[in-house]
Amino acid sequence: MKIRIAKSQRGFSLLELMIASALGLIVVMAMTQMFRMGMNATFTVTQRAETQQNMRAAIELMTKDISLAGAGLPTGGLQLPAGPSKVACNQTGTCYVPADTYPTGNYMYGILPGFGNGVQNGTIIPSAPAATNDSITSIYCDYNFPLSNFSFTFPTNGYAAVVAPATVITAGLPTNILAPGGLNVGDLMFFLVSTPGQGTASGNQGTSAAQTAAVVAEITGIPSSTAINFAAGDALNFNQNGANSLFNTVANLGPALGGGNTVTACRLNAVTYFLQVPPAGGTDQTPRLMRQVNGLTAVPVADNIINLQFSYDVISSTAGLMNANLSNPIAAGDSPALIQKVDMWVMGQSLVSSGNRFQSMYLASSVATRNMSFCNSDSSATTVCQ
C-alpha cells in the first residue's frame, strides 16, 4: 500500500495581492476616465451642433427678411404722419424694444437700425461679452399674399375700406382676405394712391398735375371678408385723424379720393428681431432670439442666443462714398435709406444640465439690401440713390 505524500503549494502573498489589485484598479480607472472623456467629447460635439443649428436658423431667417427690405416702398422711404408711430409693439400694448418709435421725424425706412436697442425691457445679459445688443427692423411689401385681386373703396370718414374682388381675377391668387395666410388685426396696409390730375384750369397758368401718395394704416378689425376697419387709436398709432398732407393718413383717403383715382395695396411686413430674457420662474430663462411682425405678438426663433449685433455699409449722400461698418448710421449722420449691406453677428451659448459649464460661439454673415442698393454718383459729387 502506497501512501500519498502531500506537497506544500505556495499561494499569493499579501504584498503580491495588493500589487495586483492596485494594477487592476489603475486599469479600471484609466478605462473609466477614457469612457468619461469620450462621453464628454460626444456631449460637447452635440451641444456645439445644436448651438450652430440654432444660429444658422436665425441667420437664414434674418437674411431673408433683410434682403427684402424696402421692396414695394417709395424710393428713399416714406414720411409718416406727425406721430409718433410705433414699431415692435403688439395689440395689448407691449412694446418689445426700448426705443419703439420711428426715427428722424417719424420716417419709415426700409431698414431701421436699433443700436443698443436689442433686449426687451433693456435687460442686461451678463454672459454676453459685448456691452451692446442691437435690434433690426426690416420693412417690405408681403408678396406672399398679393392683394391685386381686390379693389378697395373708402367711405367719407376714411376709417374703413370696402373690399371687393377685382374686375379681372388672376388665377391662382387669393380671392378672400380671410384665406389662410391672409390679413389679420394688427397687420399694416400700404395704399398707393394715384390721382390723374384735372388738366389746365381756365384762366390759370397752372396745371393740376397727377399725384401719387402713399398711406400706411393698421388694421383694427375685419368684420367680414368684404370689410376692413382702420379705427383711430390703433396700437401702432398709424390711423391718425390729423395730417400734414391730403393723403397722409387713412382718415383722409375717403374725402380725397374722387373719380378716376387708382388705389393699389399690399400688406407691409415690419419685422423686428431682438433678444428676450424670459422672466424668473419660467421653465426656460435663457435668452432667446425673437421675431415680431407688425402689431402681432412676437414669437421665438432660436434659443440660447446671448448676443446680437449689426453693422451697416451706407452710401454718404454728400460725398457719394461708402461708409463701412457703421454700428449706428443715424448717429453718424447717414440715412438708413442708403444702406447697401448689413453685417450681422449672432452669439449662441450651449448650457449643460447643471448650468455651470457652457460653450459659446459666434456666427457671422452679410446680406445685401437688394431693393436699396442702386446708387449712382457723378463727377459733380451729386449722388442719386434708389
pLDDT for the residue 200 = 39
For residue range 107-125, list pLDDT tens digits in order: 999 999 999 999 998 888 8
| Residue showing cell 370718414 | 157
Q: Is the peptide bond before 84 cis (omega within 30 degrees of 0)?
A: yes
Nearest CA among 200, 192, 201, 205 for reference residue 250:
192
For residue range 54-88, list pLDDT tens digits in order: 889 899 999 999 999 999 898 888 888 877 899 99
DSSP conformational letter for 48: H
Nearest CA among 59, 62, 66, 72 for reference residue 339:
66
When pLDDT is averaged across residues 84-94 and rounded to a whole number, the result is 93
Q: How far apart are CA 330 and CA 114, in angstroms?
A: 10
Residue 285 pLDDT class (50, 70, 90 cuts): low
DSSP 2-24: --PPP-------HHHHHHHHHHH
pLDDT surpassing 50 at residue 244:
no
CB 362 within 8 A of CB 369: no
Residue type, 109: Y
Q: How far apart are CA 70 and CA 75, in angstroms?
A: 8
Coil, strand or helix at 274: strand
What are 270's three cell numbers? 415690419
For residue range 296-343, list pLDDT tens digits in order: 999 999 988 999 999 999 998 777 788 899 999 999 989 999 999 999
Pairing of strands 160-165, 111-114: unpaired
What are 253's three cell numbers? 383717403
Q: Kindly report the pTM of this predicted structure.
A: 0.82
What are 87's three cell numbers? 414699431
| Residue showing cell 457719394 | 320
Tell me, rounded to whole angstroms, the distance of Cα 381 from its chain centroid: 34
Coil, strand or helix at 222: strand
